[in-house]
Amino acid sequence: MNDYEKAISFYAEACTICKKHLANEESLLITTYNNIAVAYNTMNDKSKALLFYEKTLKLREKNSTTNDLSLANIYSNIGSIYDSVGNYLDAINYYQKAMAIEENASPKNGLLLSNTYSNIAVAYKQLEDNENALKFYQKALSIRENIQATDNSDLAIIYNSMAFIYQKMKNYSAAVTFY
């Protein structure tokens, strides 16, 4: 049994205890389900990761406000699972749910929102929907260009991705501006 399997075993035991003795402490169960999902995702067991993210989501939705960033995080995690298995339409659906929360958050977390825009852009790019991919890369870019960061690798990735799409669309003059 590897360390992740051991962790899942301990988390499962924690779930049993939470359900039996701490029924009013759903936040502990939410955290535990989320941790199980992360462990399964790390082990590349996407179906079990998705199952536990959905359990996390069900409880979090019941106990959250509409602008809860932790809910946005769960939506993003589910979107990421769908993205990793090639189900880009479902990925976009969940990323957009996260985006709706992040856009209305106060204060706004620019990095988080930029990452979500980038995730949506990548999914559209995989679907070869270049117009929507560019739209969301542009949104991510406008945020990233205004953030003071010591590591600009994300900015470079956005520029490169936009250039690639423009090149694919045979808009070489636009592509050159991003390379």
Mean pLDDT of the chain: 92
**Least confident stretch, 34-38, 74-78, 136-140, 170-174:** 170-174
State whether 59 and 98 are in the same domain.
no
Residue 89 CA to residue 106 CA, distance in Å, equals: 28
pLDDT of residue 77: 98
How many structural domains compose the chain?
2
HEC assignment per residue over 43-97: CCCHHHHHHHHHHHHHHHHHCCCCCCHHHHHHHHHHHHHHHHCCCHHHHHHHHHH
Among 15, 36, 63, identify where a domain stops: 63
State whether 87 and 46 are in the same domain.
no
State whether 114 and 172 are in the same domain.
yes
Look at the block and give the residue holding tokens 């957009």: 96
- pLDDT (mean) for 79-107: 95
Decide if 121 contacts 137 (C-beta within 8 A).
yes
Look at the block and give the residue holding tokens 């706004």: 108
CA-to-CA separations, 119 to 54, 94, 154, in angstroms, rounded: 19, 10, 12
- Determine if the peptide bond prior to 107 is cis (ω within 30°): yes
State whether 116 and 145 are in the same domain.
yes
Q: Is the pLDDT of residue 85 over 90?
A: yes
State whether 130 and 58 are in the same domain.
no
pLDDT of residue 66: 66
Among 39, 63, 87, identify where a domain stops: 63
- Structural domain including 2 reads 1-63
User: In the structure, what pLDDT confidence band is assigned to residue 107 with cuts at 50, 70 and 90?
Assistant: confident
State whether 103 and 58 are in the same domain.
no
State whether 121 and 148 are in the same domain.
yes
State whether 70 and 59 are in the same domain.
no
Give the torsion through C-alpha atoms of 98, 71, 74, 57, to 10 deg: -120
Share of the chain above pLDDT 70, in %: 97
Residues 6+ positions from 179 with CB-CB distance below 8 Å: 159, 160, 163
pLDDT in tens, 2-55: 898 999 998 888 888 888 887 777 888 999 999 999 999 999 999 999 999 999
